[in-house]
Structure 1
Amino acid sequence: MNPQIPDRSFVERAVADADVNVLRMALFQATRDADIAAVRAERVAGAVADSVEFSTEDTALIRSKAVEYLMSGDTADVDTVLSTEEIDDLILMAEARALAPDKLVMRRRILSLPEWPFQRERPETVSVPDGYSVAIIGAGFSGIAMGVQLARLGIPFTIYERRSEIGGVWSINTYPDVRVDTLSASYEYSFEKKYPWSEYFARQSEVREYLDHVARKYGVFEHMVFDADVTSAKFDDAAKTWTLTVASADQTPLTVVANVVVAASGLFATPRELPIEGVAGYSGRIVHTTEWNDSVEYAGKNVAIIGNGSTGVQLLSKVASEAASVSVYQRTPQWISPRAKYGEAISDELQWLFQTMPFYWNWNKYVAGLANNDLRELLIADEQWIADGGVVNKRNDAMREMLLGYIRAQVNGREDLIEKLVPDYPPMTRRPVVDNQWYASLTRDNVELVTTPIERLTETAVETSDGVAREADLIIAAVGFQTEKFLWPTEYIGEGGVSLEQVWNVQGAQAHLGMSVPGFPNMFMLYGPNSQPVASGAGLPIWLETWCAYIADGILEMLEKGYDSVSVRREAFEHYNEQLHKEAGRLIYLSQTSATEKNYYVNKWGRMQVSAPWDGEEYFAMCVHPRLSDFEFQHAKTK
């Protein structure tokens, strides 16, 4: 036996832990086994998304053949260079359905067979002038992605991070049980292959370690400046450059000049304040979840948790297991859903399979996003279905019934809780929340769900509008972020001295493809307004790579043609946003059944502000390369 191959029982356990569709695709791509090709995959409709399933006999065949293949020791990496037609055939096999050609373009890249599926290469015709630089603001997922792209292009850059470490939101949030709410396999860059995540849904500390690893491995870390808060950035109309004012750790302001600015501060950068009377007079401790640290004590305390979004739902179980009492204050019920393998570790056997079996990592990444490809179907009202007595459409209503059953099961059928927990709006209208035993924790003897509105804080308690005051030693403010404040608090001043805040105060934050705004040349943003599509098999890091490549195209075009500035034309910006808001009007976010007044997806002007209303493939077609006719290129007047 090859000494590098574990014993047969280990391999069998590894194969048993594997996703059968992922295993089938990896095995077929590596061996082209006719028996595996003949396996019949059945696409089964589900309440949320379709699944691909196999008979018991075929499942056994796939697993058996995989064991024999792995035991043979003949698992050296197979050639990954496939034709477009070959990749498309594999994708159709994996999804067990026919797909139109335009639905395959991004899917081919999600599979991540090339070393760099999304990044741009620098043409030989492009040279970089001495002193040229790009300033990136923020060292989270977005800033690192931009840094990796620029490092590959050989374009000088500096990343300014206002905190003392890398990670962005994954540095700020350290509250109990904080973790990703999408599979780790879809929350990673496409170019960092086979990263050994320890859990299916990675915890905060591991995500931050991952970002640190990527930044160091790909030559980005040495370009970072920490404790550097960019307070303002002003465009020089004549020189076509940006002047940044940077507050350093000792508060000494620095002035930096950059040719291009990329705002990568993220959507979840500005905590929302606790909007309750009496905060100043409360004698206990109030901790926003972004302020959590090791000094926060909740064991044996009377704790109030205000908020039931993703943050409040994640931390309740851990806090309730040690606190004397927990009062959970819920303003609006949420649709909170289960996730398979949430909180589970990835076994050593499966870790070995990721590293050993050709293409298993690729297909695992692809299949991890399959359920998200068709989510848009949940968001479009079916008028005939509604006329016949339905609420939204067949699939959305089925999801509602599934979640109702889940609530009932988790709270042991307690009607007093069910009555308070069921939302009066359709699923998917607001950001979905992943359950971390939140419902079950409400049934604990030391936990009380409070739905009466909070009136004020007294010196020692939280008082609700019915006059009841519940004692609290510690208040955890799980009230989220000011997502309407894109790029805040940095002040961006564009052409003619106009600030971005002035522009966005008219109808809210808007950008062309979420990345650029007229009047702000050489400025791009990542995870800007209406960025992420409502349905996509690609996770956020892959979208960041896509946007970074788009930005790189704009910079390369300037460098190659000798221009000093690039700015999106107003007519292109306005046309795009007209189409965006027209398309958004088809979705339930803006419908009468939506709780729009309590939904950060929608701003106070009644516009969608976070997501792009298209599916992933359609939006990717817009973002894969800039349409140069949408932009104006200029030379500096000072030359």
Structure 2
Amino acid sequence: MSTTGVDVLRVPQDDLFWQDNYEPVTETDAELLRIVEGADLPALLAALAAATGDTSALSPELRPPLTPVDTVNHPHGGMSEDQQDRGRQLALAGLRRLRDERITSVDTLPGAVVTSILEYLANGHRDWIGMLKHELDLAPDKGGAPGWQYDDVAPDRPFSVLIVGSGVAGIAAAYRFAQAGVPFTIIEAGECLGGTWQKNRYPGVRLDTPTFGYSYSFAQRPDWPHQFAEGHEIREYLETVARKAGLSERIEFGSRLVRAEWDEAAGMWVATTRTRDGAERTRRFNAVVSATGQLDIPNIPDFPGRDSFTGVAMHSQNWDESVDWRGKRVAVIGTGASAYQIVPAIVDDVESMVVFQRSAPWMLPAPAYHEGMTDTFAWLVRKVPHYAQWFRLWVTLLGIPGRFHTVRAEEDWPAAPLSVSQKNQEVRDELVYRLAEQFAGHPELLRHAVPGYPPGAKRMLRDNGVWARALTAEQTQLETSPIREFTPGGIVTEDGTEHNVDIVIYATGFRPSEYLEGITIVGREGREIHDFWQGDARAYNGVTVPGFPNFFMVYGPNVGGVVAGSLHFMLERASEYSLKAVREVLERRVTALDVKPAALDRFVEWVDQENRRMAWGQPYVRTWYQNGCGRVSQIWPFTNVEYWNVTESVRPEDYDFLP
């Protein structure tokens, strides 16, 4: 307990899943060789170097080249056969050392050792090292946790923060503020924490990014069961993180923010919250952190006659678990990420299914999409100290360059609008070839399964063959004629076909560009934030907005990544940037800080210029990455490293400090 009465969160190595000791290695050389042959070599070599303290084997000649990924990941980061052979010999020797020297634990590493290992993994990219240390438990300067305490900076100054939302972003913000001992209140409109992972419970829900890249740097779970985690696993993970951090009991559930107004005279936000029964409560806070997410507001098209349908209708986010689809006639509207998971999950049990498609999805090959972690991986997690953390770091590192090279547009590219560059066309050709294999014998379906836009212009899904199998099933019909109207018994398309169905599933996505929808935010001079945006949400570093002092957004405009990077990293950095801004206010003994319009304009132009170079930024592309004004307001077009750089400090010249 601090002197101000606020509990300070203290976590060893800034990792809620930190483990001091591991099982001893007792296997024979032959058994160890089998382990090595099934391991991801760069991660294993890094873990062994850390455990033994010997980095001499990590020579420049052995560095993974990080070969750019077009569609399918290159094993071991693109290491050559010779590199792999040498790497296996070294890994076997390292495992023998763990066994023979009985090494079962590793503590914080010397800085030189960390740098040597990171240079090996990053193939010499020194500019990545700062960002990578943020993710590395064993680095002496890990860098995510605040290096200051509210008690020390402003012990006599009352200061309180409102955190809105308890999903992935809200938990990240609450964790960092708790570490600094800054007083906060966290509210959640629902009855449970977890945000989108609490709401989305439809059949087949799971990650479409590798599990180990979808976790916090401060909560590095080592024993994930699936390579692409199922929805309940992510939900349980978030609940565990909140419980371990002592955040669960601090959340006000069933409390929705409806209005926040800046009181200029008092220098505080006046926040009005509303419970489910309509009761309102007004409180004052020095700062507000919005962590309301992007994929939260369901998009249900207003089809004529929609309310006349007498069957069951539900959006994927509002799945009714009491509904039994087995033996029923089911309509699924949409072919995006949720439809891609729902359709294969239920197709075998329905009487019939009609899938309404507006545009086909591009899908990246992912043969292991539904597979668990391997036995080899489980052994390494148990017996090689911090192997899971090194593997997570390796996954994060591979995501830095991502697939940007496949979506950058070439000026006056002749194959537009089907592709944007030579490399993009190569990706298209490869994916079309794969679709042709999957839809062999179904030429009409293949014609509709090939998207009419460039790969990467919209969210790309994960393909292990189940989508094609579901669409080619005898009981499935793909409908591409637009919906004209609903009837009491079903849906009529523009070509006059009537589909009689019992259940309609809206897999129609969300309205991600409508930031802070349903919340009134009134800043300085009585200006409301939506009036300021005029349909085009903008925030400096995705966090601060001119005219709205001490108001911070986590997962704000232009913070999402789609072909590279880690979302959790972005959310943590936005949270840490918000906390750094609070520290500036406290240390300067000012009321608030307010970002300058010129700083926002400079940031937006920088981001817009790069987004215009991408497939999703081309004038002939229509995607949910764009808002109603046509600007790409959701996507971060750079790597995690650039976001690390821009959020590393609060630049005083970019802010006005209010007395």
Partner of 1:620: 644
CA contact (8 A) 2:627 2:633 kept: yes
- Report the Cα offset of residue 17 of structure 1: 4.1
Q: Please list the CA deviations of residues 493-550 of structure 1 after superposition, one character each: whole Å capped at 9, or x if unmatched.
A: 1112211111122x5111111111111111101111111356544x111221111111
Residue 615 of structure 1 aligns with an amino acid whose one-letter code is T
Partner of 2:581: 554
Could you say if the C-alpha distance between residues 75 and 449 of structure 1 is closer, same or farther in structure 2, counting changes exceeding 3 Å? farther
CA contact (8 A) 2:165 2:189 kept: yes
Partner of 1:275: 302
Please point out which of 517, 533, 555 is paired with 1:504.
533
Please point out which of 200, 204, 217 is paired with 1:173.
200
Partner of 1:153: 180
CA contact (8 A) 1:266 1:527 kept: yes
In 2, Cα distance between the equivalents of 1:87 and 1:187? 23
- Report the Cα offset of residue 103 of structure 1: 3.9
Counterparts of residues 281-360 of structure 1 (less than 5 Å): 281-347=308-374, 349-360=376-387
2:135 is aligned with 1:110: yes
In 1, Cα distance between the equivalents of 2:539 and 2:279? 33
2:146 is aligned with 1:120: yes
Could you say if the C-alpha distance between residues 278 and 175 of structure 1 is closer, same or farther in structure 2, counting changes exceeding 3 Å? same
CA contact (8 A) 1:177 1:315 kept: yes
| Structure 1 residue matching 2:134: 3-state secondary structure | helix
Please point out which of 31, 47, 55 is paired with 2:70.
47
TM-score, normalised to structure 2's length? Answer: 0.89
In 1, Cα distance between the equivalents of 2:449 and 2:350? 23
Q: Please list the CA deviations of residues 224-258 of structure 1 after superposition, one character each: whole Å capped at 9, or x if unmatched.
A: 10011111111111111111111123321111211
- Report the Cα offset of residue 68 of structure 1: 2.6
What is the number of residues matched between the two proteins? Answer: 626
Partner of 1:466: 495
In 1, Cα distance between the equivalents of 2:33 and 2:343? 38
| Structure 1 residue matching 2:485: 3-state secondary structure | strand
CA contact (8 A) 2:50 2:109 kept: no
Could you say if the C-alpha distance between residues 6 and 465 of structure 1 is closer, same or farther in structure 2, counting changes exceeding 3 Å? farther
Residue 302 of structure 1 aligns with an amino acid whose one-letter code is R
Residue 23 of structure 1 aligns with an amino acid whose one-letter code is L
Could you say if the C-alpha distance between residues 53 and 390 of structure 1 is closer, same or farther in structure 2, counting changes exceeding 3 Å? farther
TM-score, normalised to structure 1's length? Answer: 0.92
- Report the Cα offset of residue 627 of structure 1: 0.7
Q: Please list the CA deviations of residues 364-385 of structure 1 after superposition, one character each: whole Å capped at 9, or x if unmatched.
A: 1122134432222223223497
Between the two proteins, what is the percent identity of the paired residues? 29
**Greater Cα offset, 372-381 or 59-68:** 59-68
- Report the Cα offset of residue 616 of structure 1: 2.4
2:504 is aligned with 1:475: yes
CA contact (8 A) 2:25 2:383 kept: no
| Structure 2 residue matching 1:280: 3-state secondary structure | helix
Residue 302 of structure 2 aligns with an amino acid whose one-letter code is P
Could you say if the C-alpha distance between residues 74 and 386 of structure 1 is closer, same or farther in structure 2, counting changes exceeding 3 Å? farther
Structure number with the bigger relative contact order (C-alpha 8 A, sep ≥ 6) is 1
Could you say if the C-alpha distance between residues 618 and 161 of structure 1 is closer, same or farther in structure 2, counting changes exceeding 3 Å? same
CA contact (8 A) 1:149 1:548 kept: yes
| Structure 1 residue matching 2:349: 3-state secondary structure | coil
Residue 657 of structure 2 aligns with an amino acid whose one-letter code is F
Could you say if the C-alpha distance between residues 404 and 88 of structure 1 is closer, same or farther in structure 2, counting changes exceeding 3 Å? farther
In 2, Cα distance between the equivalents of 1:411 and 1:145? 43
Partner of 1:404: 432
Could you say if the C-alpha distance between residues 371 and 427 of structure 1 is closer, same or farther in structure 2, counting changes exceeding 3 Å? farther
CA contact (8 A) 2:63 2:120 kept: no
Could you say if the C-alpha distance between residues 158 and 12 of structure 1 is closer, same or farther in structure 2, counting changes exceeding 3 Å? farther
2:521 is aligned with 1:492: yes
- Report the Cα offset of residue 263 of structure 1: 0.5
Partner of 1:633: 657
In 2, Cα distance between the equivalents of 1:555 and 1:41? 41
Long gaps (5+) in structure 1: none
Counterparts of residues 22-37 of structure 1 (less than 5 Å): 22-31=43-52, 32=54, 34=56, 37=59
In 2, Cα distance between the equivalents of 1:43 and 1:568? 38
Counterparts of residues 398-477 of structure 1 (less than 5 Å): 398-412=426-440, 414-435=442-463, 437-477=466-506
CA contact (8 A) 1:119 1:545 kept: no
Partner of 2:633: 609
Please point out which of 541, 544, 552 is paired with 1:513.
541
Please point out which of 607, 613, 621 is paired with 1:595.
621
Q: Alignment RMSD, CA only?
A: 2.6
Long gaps (5+) in structure 2: 1-21
Q: Please list the CA deviations of residues 482-501 of structure 1 after superposition, one character each: whole Å capped at 9, or x if unmatched.
A: 11211222211111221111
CA contact (8 A) 1:136 1:157 kept: yes
CA contact (8 A) 1:18 1:350 kept: yes
CA contact (8 A) 2:362 2:451 kept: yes
CA contact (8 A) 1:15 1:350 kept: no
| Structure 2 residue matching 1:198: 3-state secondary structure | coil
CA contact (8 A) 1:132 1:156 kept: yes
Q: Please list the CA deviations of residues 291-317 of structure 1 after superposition, one character each: whole Å capped at 9, or x if unmatched.
A: 113212111001001011110001111
CA contact (8 A) 1:512 1:568 kept: yes
Could you say if the C-alpha distance between residues 523 and 98 of structure 1 is closer, same or farther in structure 2, counting changes exceeding 3 Å? same
2:540 is aligned with 1:524: no
In 1, Cα distance between the equivalents of 2:597 and 2:523? 14
In 1, Cα distance between the equivalents of 2:625 and 2:467? 23
Could you say if the C-alpha distance between residues 33 and 564 of structure 1 is closer, same or farther in structure 2, counting changes exceeding 3 Å? closer
In 2, Cα distance between the equivalents of 1:370 and 1:131? 41
CA contact (8 A) 2:36 2:91 kept: yes
CA contact (8 A) 2:418 2:454 kept: no
Q: Please list the CA deviations of residues 86-125 of structure 1 after superposition, one character each: whole Å capped at 9, or x if unmatched.
A: 4444233224x443x4344313333443485412121574
CA contact (8 A) 1:16 1:63 kept: no
In 1, Cα distance between the equivalents of 2:230 and 2:417? 43
